[in-house]
Structure 1
Amino acid sequence: AMPSRKVPSPKHRIPHLLPSPWQAASSSFSNCRSCKALPSGSSTEVPADTTKPAVASPSVSSADATLVISLLAMAYTIWNMDKVNLSVAVVPMVKQFQWSPSVVGTIQSSFFWGYVLMQIPGGVLARAIGGKTTLLVGFTLFSLATCLIPVAATSSLPSLLACRALVGIGEGVTPPAATALIAQWFGPRDRARAMGIAGFAQNMGAVGGLILAPSIIDAWGWPWVFTSFGGLGLVWAAAWAALAKEPKESGASAQPSQKAGEDDRPGILGALFGIPWLAFLRQPSVWAIVIVHFCYNYGFYTLL
């Protein structure tokens, strides 16, 4: 008989969040613990399990997945354009409203009041009501708030701060929702490539926003930076609502534990309390990612 080996206890595993290869390997090993020694010359190939339905694992070559990653790349570009537009528009706004440096700093930081607040709730909402709906609501919110910034700025400083905080709230839910959709649509072999496309689009949005904003200000004035960027976001939201699909809507899922067409939404409370927070916090790799991400964002947003 095969020698017994210690299998990690289920309580130490993070449900729904382990990489697919590890889940498959763990399951296969557990099933083989009681296997008897095979005769010499016998094949070690495991026969296919015909009792379970095949689970579709879409790739970037499928039409639906290609459409989704294309729309998500546009989303990453647009929301980063909205994130950086104030960095350019604030120069003529300071001349018009005579703001002090401390007021400018408060205005610039108001975006992050909402952005930081909604990171974890954005992930919870994406699991509870679906990434498509979460992304649509967040995109519509921050696009409308961006369009209203010229009116808020001429009205009062508190109105501008509230409007910019709403932009942060809307954008705060978009990265978790987009990441959840990528994880659902793409299997392990294609997921890194999909995230690479999204990351490239994100940086292009920051660069594009900083290049386009001065030209728009020179041609039509600073209010049009917010009106045009926000309007572009509303156009994207309409296209997303009409064209995008959840994996279950196309009868496909990249999650090996979920059958094709199956809806795995535990509700808001289930999504919040079903996450093994302590298991996360005990992982050194999680803290390594947190530290690296903190250092990256500290330098990126300071220069931005």
Structure 2
Amino acid sequence: MITMKEELTEKYPLCNSKRLIVALIGFIGTLNLYSIRMNLSVGILCMTNHTAVDLMDNHSFVPKNFSNVTKTSCALLGEEKAKDGDLVWSKQTRSIILGVFFWGYLVTQIPAGMLVQRFSPKWILFGFMMLSSLSVMFTPLAARTSVGFMIALRVICGLCSGVWFPSIYQLWSRWAPPQDRSLLVGLTNSGLHVGNALTLPIAGLLCEYGFAGGWPSIFYTSGLFGILWCILWAFLIYDTPSDHPTISDGEKNYIEKSLCGEINDSNKNVNICDLPWRAIATSKPFWAIAVINIMFDWNGYTFITSTPTYMKEVLKFNMSQNGFVSAAPYIGMGIGQICFAILCDILQKRKILSVTRIRKLMNCLGMLTPGLIVVILAYLKCESRYLAVVLLTIGLSATSALFVGAFVNHVDIAPQYAGLLFGLTNTLGAFTGFFSSYFVGAVTKNNDVNSWRIVFFVCSIIYVAGAIFYLIFGSGKLQSWAIQNTNDSNNFSLLNKDKEKEAEC
């Protein structure tokens, strides 16, 4: 027997729908967000005068002008000319500059989650992303002025970027019917992998062949792209289906009926102090998501900020090759994101697995697979550079399963507070951004494979611990504390939904 929701789903498919447009614009926005975050990871390698830094580390006199020097590499690549930049930044300084983004990023997570409960996620996101794009365009000026100015600008960029996920998840709580949720949110989040995949090779090419002296063009291009996206967002996106001027009545009714009982507009006027803070703080499913966020972010930020450095120092790829091989894992993640989203949709629509079991399956794939692979990676040297790239690609591709696992789980357990919950969990995760970057910089001072082995062992332990914790405490069920302030009929509907979910388990 076909249920009303299944009939509506068939009548108003994703193809040519407004919710698909929201997903596509969100995809481009996430791509832009990670381009802004990632561009410095490559740019900083060609901004730095490595010859001067090496001489300073050896307590040698640093002359006024430095010529390019020849460095020894693996026999497979032979010797290559190492191109120096114009900034004398030590490895510790570079680690701090890469990490301070997360100082700003973690500060705005919870405030953004509160703001989007009461005000327009669309316009909050527009304002902060426009400021973030402008700050990126000022990066060359800041870098050449002082380290302090550069640090301040990266903190501002982090502050603005921190608004993204609480806002986009709050938007999806109004736009994503449960039947389409994995695919829509998965498509939006896949932009982060594509953003990394495109930014790395493009930044590598701009380093060598770009305008304005090479590396500055990375930031001018990225900032301009962000500004153009903001204009697109302002004209095409609306906070709710009801606000959209050209959505069909059929699609609007389908979305609203699918979300009936999950969202209550009266909560927009609820005082912050009246939110269910105690219930959230004692919720095991919430902490399961938070732990995955923390564990994944430590490893994710380790790879985001350090992959180009690893490719250069250990695997000995030159600058132009570095961008392309560093991008390979993120291309795999982008493909994996879509594949896992489709798989989740099939498993849910055909009722093969409950939502809880789907989320746990995806988390096991996304944490245990890379947890094993990074141990193997720890023992590979530059003679096996291409095998290392393949393994890194497989491992990071598997982590994309998390984006249809724990990272969509906020909307499952508490759609009413999805933006707030993501702000909370992402704040906890963002703390690791600075520390992981600094940890890698401190451990890998010698630029050798043994130092990087420690980094990979720590990553493996974190992956496995996160998988076990979520397997025990994770859930895909709507939580009782997330259905406050709804009328009796809605509560009755939700009670029936919970019983159906329990039956599926």
**1:242 and 2:235 equivalent?**
yes
**1:266 and 2:220 equivalent?**
no
Residue 298 of structure 1 corresponds to: 298
Q: How does 1:185-224 map to 2 (within 5 A)?
A: 185-220=175-210, 221-224=214-217
**Cα gap change, 1:171/1:59 in structure 2, threshold over 3 Å: closer, same or farther?**
farther
Residue 70 of structure 1 corresponds to: 24
**Cα gap change, 1:228/1:159 in structure 2, threshold over 3 Å: closer, same or farther?**
same
- After superposition, what is the alpha-carbon deviation per residue over 1:79-109, rounded to whole angstroms, capped at 9, x for unaligned? 1111110000001222111111221111111
The runs of at least 4 aligned residues of structure 1 exceeding 2 Å deviation read 57-64, 250-255, 262-267, 270-275
TM-score normalised per structure 1:
0.75
- After superposition, what is the alpha-carbon deviation per residue over 1:244-282, rounded to whole angstroms, capped at 9, x for unaligned? 1121312846442489xx965736xx4633421110111
- After superposition, what is the alpha-carbon deviation per residue over 1:119-168, rounded to whole angstroms, capped at 9, x for unaligned? 11111122221111111112111111111111111122111111111110
Between the aligned partners of 2:158 and 2:106, the Cα distance in structure 1 is: 8
CA contact (8 A) 1:258 1:264 kept: no
Residue 422 of structure 2 corresponds to: none
Between the aligned partners of 1:185 and 1:80, the Cα distance in structure 2 is: 23
Between the aligned partners of 1:182 and 1:139, the Cα distance in structure 2 is: 18
Structure 1 unmatched ranges of 5 or more: 1-47, 49-56
Between the aligned partners of 2:28 and 2:12, the Cα distance in structure 1 is: 20
CA contact (8 A) 2:117 2:268 kept: yes
Larger relative contact order (Cα-Cα within 8 Å, sequence gap ≥ 6): 1
Between the aligned partners of 2:15 and 2:261, the Cα distance in structure 1 is: 22
Structure 2 unmatched ranges of 5 or more: 5-10, 50-85, 305-505
2:30 counterpart letter in structure 1: Y
Other structure's SS at 1:189 match:
coil
- After superposition, what is the alpha-carbon deviation per residue over 1:278-297, rounded to whole angstroms, capped at 9, x for unaligned? 10111111111111121111
**More deviation, 119-128/77-86:** 119-128
**More deviation, 165-174/128-137:** 128-137
TM-score normalised per structure 2:
0.46
Between the aligned partners of 2:12 and 2:272, the Cα distance in structure 1 is: 28
**1:84 and 2:38 equivalent?**
yes
Between the aligned partners of 1:213 and 1:274, the Cα distance in structure 2 is: 47
Q: How does 1:268-287 map to 2 (within 5 A)?
A: 270=270, 272-287=272-287
The one of 253, 257, 260 equivalent to 1:256 is 260
CA contact (8 A) 1:114 1:168 kept: yes
The one of 149, 155, 160 equivalent to 1:159 is 149
Between the aligned partners of 2:12 and 2:286, the Cα distance in structure 1 is: 28
Residue 83 of structure 2 corresponds to: none
**More deviation, 223-232/97-106:** 97-106
Between the aligned partners of 1:264 and 1:77, the Cα distance in structure 2 is: 33
Residue 132 of structure 1 corresponds to: 122
Other structure's SS at 2:14 match:
coil
Other structure's SS at 1:97 match:
coil
CA contact (8 A) 2:121 2:170 kept: yes
**More deviation, 200-209/82-91:** 200-209
The one of 202, 209, 218 equivalent to 1:225 is 218
**Cα gap change, 1:86/1:159 in structure 2, threshold over 3 Å: closer, same or farther?**
same
1:161 counterpart letter in structure 2: I
CA contact (8 A) 1:64 1:245 kept: no
Residue 55 of structure 2 corresponds to: none
CA contact (8 A) 1:149 1:160 kept: yes
CA contact (8 A) 1:139 1:170 kept: yes
Residue 15 of structure 1 corresponds to: none
**More deviation, 102-111/242-251:** 242-251
**Cα gap change, 1:83/1:59 in structure 2, threshold over 3 Å: closer, same or farther?**
farther
Residue 90 of structure 2 corresponds to: 100
Shift of 1:61: 4.1
CA contact (8 A) 2:23 2:185 kept: no
- After superposition, what is the alpha-carbon deviation per residue over 1:4-56, rounded to whole angstroms, capped at 9, x for unaligned? xxxxxxxxxxxxxxxxxxxxxxxxxxxxxxxxxxxxxxxxxxxx9xxxxxxxx
CA contact (8 A) 2:20 2:184 kept: no
